[in-house]
Every structure is written in structure tokens, then in C-alpha cells.
Amino acid sequence: MMRRPDTSTAPVLVAEGGVPYTAIPDGDPIEAWLDLMEAVEALCPEWPAPESKIWCDYRL
């Protein structure tokens, strides 16, 4: 006999895409950013042109 999957505990990562959370880095967050960007630049050595940021409403 075929068993039905147990649906009493929802598989969070599949059914809901995971739980929203933000990891706060241990230690110096700027060093953490440098580490991250090292990996990002290794994966994406050619960066697209920067987005245009020409605005009209400045209040600060």
C-alpha cells in the first residue's frame, strides 16, 4: 500500500520559501561586506553599467 506524505508538519522551505530573517554579522560588518564583495566580484567580474539616479525631489 502506498503511504501518503505526512502533511501535519509543513515543509517550510518548500511550501513557504523559508522564514524571513536577517543575519547580523559577528565582528566588524564592514569586514563582512569586504568578504562578501570579494566573492561577488569573483562570480561577476564584469559589472553592468550603474543605474541612473537623477532625481528631482531633494528635501534633506
Partner 1 sequence: MPRLADQIREALALFPQLAREPALIGGLALAAHNVVRATRDVDFLVDADDAERLHTLLIGLGYTCIHRSADAANYLRGAEGFDVLYAHRAEARRLLAEAETRQTGMGRLRVVGAEGLIAFKLQALVNDPSRARDLDDIRTLLRNNADTLDMERVRHYFAIFERGALLDEILGKQDDASA
- Contact residues for partner 1, defined by CB under 8 A: 20, 22, 24-25, 28-34, 36-38, 40-41, 46-50, 52-60
Tell me the three cell numbers of residue 30. Answer: 564592514
Work out how close the CB of 26 gets to partner 1 at its nearest, in angstroms, rounded to a whole number.
Answer: 11
In this complex, which beta carbon is closest to partner 1, that of residue 17 or of residue 58?
A: 58
The Cα–Cα gap between 43 and 16 comes to 28
The Cα–Cα gap between 22 and 38 comes to 20
In this complex, which beta carbon is closest to partner 1, that of residue 6 or of residue 51?
A: 51
Work out how close the CB of 28 gets to partner 1 at its nearest, in angstroms, rounded to a whole number.
Answer: 8
Task: Decide if 16 contacts 10 (C-beta within 8 A).
Answer: yes
